[in-house]
Amino acid sequence: MLAPAEPQQTNLTSGEKVQVGRWTLTARADYQVTARILAQERYRFDSLADLIPEDLALGWGAMSDNRVLKRIEISQSNRFYYWRAPPGTPIPLDQIVSHSANTHVIPQNTLVARQLSRLRPGEVVTLSGELVDGVRDDGRWIKTSLLRTDSGAGACEVLLVNDVTIQNP
pLDDT tens readout for residues 104-116:
999 999 999 999 9
Instruction: Specify if 2 maps to a domain.
Output: no
Pairing of strands 23-42, 124-136: antiparallel
Residue 1 located in a structural domain: no
pTM: 0.94
- CATH number for position 28: 2.40.50.140
Q: Distance of CA 2 to CAs 61, 65, 124, 125, 154, Å? A: 8, 6, 7, 10, 27
Residue 62 has pLDDT above 90, yes or no: yes
Q: Spell out where 21-123 has E strands.
A: 23-42, 54-59, 73-77, 80-84, 100-107
Query: Is 66 within a domain?
Result: yes
pLDDT at 141: 95
Residue 35 has pLDDT above 80, yes or no: yes
Residue 3 located in a structural domain = no
Work out how many domains the chain is built from and give that number. 1
Q: In whole angstroms, how far apart are CA 132 and each of 17, 66, 129?
A: 9, 31, 9
Do the Cβ atoms of 34 and 103 come closer than 8 Å?
A: no
Q: What is the pLDDT of residue 15?
A: 83
Mean pLDDT (the chain) is 94
Coil/strand/helix, residue 84: strand
Q: Which domain holds residue 62?
A: 8-166
